[in-house]
Structure 1
Amino acid sequence: MSTPAPDATDVPVQFDPHEYLSSDEIWWQDHQVWLEQCGYMLRPRYRPGWIPSWRGTSRTQYMCEDGQDTNRGHVLDATRIEDGAIVVLKKIMSSRHPYEVEISQFFSTDLLSKDPKNHCVPIYEVLNVPDNDDLKLLVMPLLHAFYTPRFLSVGEAVECCRQIIEGLQFMHAHHVAHRDCGKLNIMMDPTRLFPKLFHFASPWLSRDISGNAKHYTRTAYPTKYYHIDFGLSRKFDPAKGPPRAWPIRGADKTVPEFEKSGDPCDPFPTDIYYLGNTLRTVFLQEYRGLEFMKPLVDDMVQDEPSKRPTIDDVAVRFDLLLESLSLWRLRTRLRPQDEHWILRPFRICSHVFRTLYYILTFRPALPRP
């Protein structure tokens, strides 16, 4: 007697993770057990045996927490099991970026990490990937893009500028050229600004993606800004003569000297250009009210590297600008260049009442953490 064929509904549906996960995401899933043994738990999407929560429901992928994919396959968030802190893991291929781990750890040594002028991202730990001798994982704090949410006052903007100038000055004082210190490689500590943090793959959403990520203002909860990503950075020995490095294009493709020659050049003036162009694009081109910074920024982005100020000169000139600003000027509302006229009166009223509250509660106009 023949065995009847099983009903189609009785056959388990096979799930292929490649249907939803990129090759980079598959790598994280394949290493989840090892990372858990190291003390770091990945989100459900990256655990072996994961089944999408929206399968068989009327929900779409992006309505679910485990449906948030990431387009940055070399970095991922994790929960530190020991204390529940959210950290970021970054894959480093040593053969491609041979100095990144060394320079990152250099700025995280006990002596340098305690210096308030150090704005290099802290490194908690370096993990050696067991099945690939060329790969290492940097364990860092969770950070957020520094330019969002928007700056609301002159004081908030200039404090951010002061910190990132101070951070680059600290690096240059230790003979390290960042070589890619543009908009994408400057971030901020979100722990005070975002009381419940945010979703790593969708930073505008809460961690459970139930709504927008709640945030305070930078004046109410001052934050610290950081330089990140030392993949192109180099440390130079001043005893060996003037620093020289082959041009390498970072995220900012507008460096004038790279258009003129491919010969080795001094990377420190290039850092000044990167930082000046960041101040120009993030602040001067986005807001009204920061025009006093324009002469300094114009000098920083000159085509001829030798005509640009050093970072020490930039810091001195910026401090002089800062000293010239009154408290009322620091509390002045920053108006976005593209602000719609309908929104303007509402934002002005909000700013007036918010500023009055800050004055009454003794919130400083220059929000230093």
Structure 2
Amino acid sequence: MPRTVDVDAQISQKTLSLWGTADDTLPEELDPRELWWRDRYKQLSHRGYLLRPRYSPQWAPSWKTSNRDWLDSEDGKRLKYGQVIDATRTSDRKPVTLKRFKRGDHQYEADIALYFSSQAFASHPANHCVPVYEVFTLDAEDDTVIMVMPLLRLYNDPVFDTIGEAMECFRQLFEGLQFMHKHRVAHRDCMNRNIMLDPTDLYPESFHPVATNLNKDCSGNAKHFTRTERPPKYYFIDFGISRRYDPSVTDPKEIPIWGGDKEVPEFQNSNEPCDPFATDVFYVGNAIKMDFVLERRGFEFMKPLISSMIQADPDKRPKMDEVVTQFDEVLRRLSRRKLRSRVVDIHEDLFERVVRTTSHWKRRIGFIARGVPAIPSPPS
């Protein structure tokens, strides 16, 4: 049997010793994952990062003295992932994300993240690696490091309104992966859950970091614009298994290591070292296939390019330079009418379709009248 490494399985095995697990604790009790952060609340505060009230040592559940149910209360929201927590940077009230990990387990993550956040690359428009504000440790004797990043959202939330919005997303993803490869970094896990967007303009009043469909105090839905009105920038996150190669290493090979996408052809029945850059091409192509080509109507024109990116033989997949060139050709052939057409979920029922189509056309007429471009571009 091949001995392909499964990162998710490794993390699951380490969960008990590193992060704790979410057990059947009561809402007013912190689970073991949360206790780690609660116990470092003051240290993080002194460092300039304020956690939500739930993680203060003085926290008392708000629903005990209010008429709200704990499910509707802001401080009733647990962490989704024990190694990641939201916080507020006290110097400017900016919402941020704190991620903790053992440097010994992910020895290259901080270095690669900081490499792309360096002065040389931070402002480059083709750089779509998540910005990292700082990396620090709380205990000199501990191998755990904390990385500070902006608060982001999954790249497909909220839903895409138009084909043009999706095409701008694809363009940025291809551009970003091309930029990484140009600088000899293979992401090695750039599947859909590791693609995010900057919500700053889309959600000007922000949102709750756990219940992301709600506003910050969970009193109602989080209000947002469409991507056409407020174009976001998309980012790749999580460089835990990424690698950076010296330019002299022209043909790097890596033993297969499973990320979140379990469909990589070259990993299925072999543990032979393979090209990590070709695997990246598969990952991002498969993300678009799974989230758009298969789940949304109207993306048939992307099938030839996506099919070439996810073909079984990694040697036959295009390099990212070729992907970008071919994508530009596809984009040039699309009419403005096509670009302004609505993204239709294949699972929509008739009622949803009527409601969404009606609201879409109202927006569309307004955008055309105001001269809003069919392909939104984020501010540089």
Cα RMSD (Å) of the superposition? 1.6
Matched, 1:349 2:358: yes
Q: Deviations over 1:281-301 (max 9, x none)?
A: 111112111110001111111
Deviation at 1:238, TM superposition (A): 3.1
Partners of 1:149 and 1:105 lie apart in 2 by 29
Q: Higher mean Cα deviation, 206-215 or 54-63?
A: 54-63
Deviation at 1:187, TM superposition (A): 0.2
Query: Secondary structure at the residue paired with 2:96?
Result: strand
Cα contact 2:28–2:76 (8 A) shared by 1 = no
Query: Residue 318 of structure 1: which of 294, 306, 327 is its match?
Result: 327
Partners of 1:17 and 1:81 lie apart in 2 by 30
Query: Secondary structure at the residue paired with 1:137?
Result: strand
Matched, 1:94 2:103: yes
Query: Residue 35 of structure 1: which of 29, 44, 53 is its match?
Result: 44
4+ residue segments displaced more than 4 Å = 16-19
Partners of 1:252 and 1:57 lie apart in 2 by 44
Q: Deviations over 1:51-84 (max 9, x none)?
A: 2122365543212111100120101111111111
Partners of 2:249 and 2:199 lie apart in 1 by 40
Show the 5 A alignment for 1:105-144: 105-130=114-139, 132-144=141-153
Cα contact 2:215–2:221 (8 A) shared by 1 = yes
Deviation at 1:241, TM superposition (A): 4.5
Partners of 2:27 and 2:298 lie apart in 1 by 50
TM-score by length of 2: 0.90
Task: State the partner residue of 1:273.
Answer: 282
Deviation at 1:18, TM superposition (A): 10
Deviation at 1:348, TM superposition (A): 2.4
Deviation at 1:17, TM superposition (A): 9.6
Change (3 A) 1:367 1:359: same
Show the 5 A alignment for 1:140-289: 140-289=149-298
Q: Deviations over 1:113-143 (max 9, x none)?
A: 1110000000111121226431111110010
Query: Residue 69 of structure 2: which of 44, 48, 60 is its match?
Result: 60
Partners of 2:270 and 2:331 lie apart in 1 by 37
Partners of 2:352 and 2:364 lie apart in 1 by 18
Equivalent position amino acid for 1:85 in 2: K
Equivalent position amino acid for 1:199 in 2: H
Partners of 2:66 and 2:360 lie apart in 1 by 44
Partners of 1:318 and 1:273 lie apart in 2 by 15
Q: Deviations over 1:301-340 (max 9, x none)?
A: 1111111111111111001111111222211112111121
Partners of 1:95 and 1:344 lie apart in 2 by 50
Q: Higher mean Cα deviation, 132-141 or 95-104?
A: 132-141
Task: State the partner residue of 2:16.
Answer: none
Partners of 2:179 and 2:117 lie apart in 1 by 13
Query: Secondary structure at the residue paired with 1:295?
Result: helix
Cα contact 2:99–2:146 (8 A) shared by 1 = yes
Deviation at 1:110, TM superposition (A): 0.7
Query: Secondary structure at the residue paired with 2:257?
Result: coil
Consecutive unaligned residues of structure 1, counting only runs of 5 or more, are 1-15
Q: Deviations over 1:332-369 (max 9, x none)?
A: 11211112122323322222221111112221110110
Query: Secondary structure at the residue paired with 2:57?
Result: coil
Partners of 2:355 and 2:261 lie apart in 1 by 36
Query: Secondary structure at the residue paired with 2:323?
Result: helix
Give the length in aligned residue pairs.
354
Partners of 1:175 and 1:264 lie apart in 2 by 17
Partners of 1:53 and 1:288 lie apart in 2 by 45
Change (3 A) 1:259 1:60: same
Equivalent position amino acid for 1:50 in 2: W
Change (3 A) 1:30 1:196: same
Cα contact 1:18–1:26 (8 A) shared by 2 = no
Equivalent position amino acid for 2:265 in 1: P
Cα contact 1:179–1:270 (8 A) shared by 2 = yes
Matched, 1:367 2:376: yes
Partners of 2:350 and 2:69 lie apart in 1 by 37
Partners of 1:335 and 1:275 lie apart in 2 by 21
Query: Residue 307 of structure 2: which of 294, 298, 309 is its match?
Result: 298
Query: Secondary structure at the residue paired with 2:258?
Result: coil
Deviation at 1:264, TM superposition (A): 1.6
Q: Deviations over 1:22-58 (max 9, x none)?
A: 2121111111111111111111001112121223655
Partners of 2:90 and 2:66 lie apart in 1 by 31
Equivalent position amino acid for 2:323 in 1: V
| Larger RCO, structure (CA 8 Å, separation 6 or more) | 2
Quick one: percent identity of the two aligned structures?
A: 48
Cα contact 2:214–2:222 (8 A) shared by 1 = yes
Cα contact 2:27–2:70 (8 A) shared by 1 = no
Change (3 A) 1:18 1:328: closer
Equivalent position amino acid for 2:364 in 1: T
Deviation at 1:19, TM superposition (A): 6.2
Partners of 1:71 and 1:344 lie apart in 2 by 31
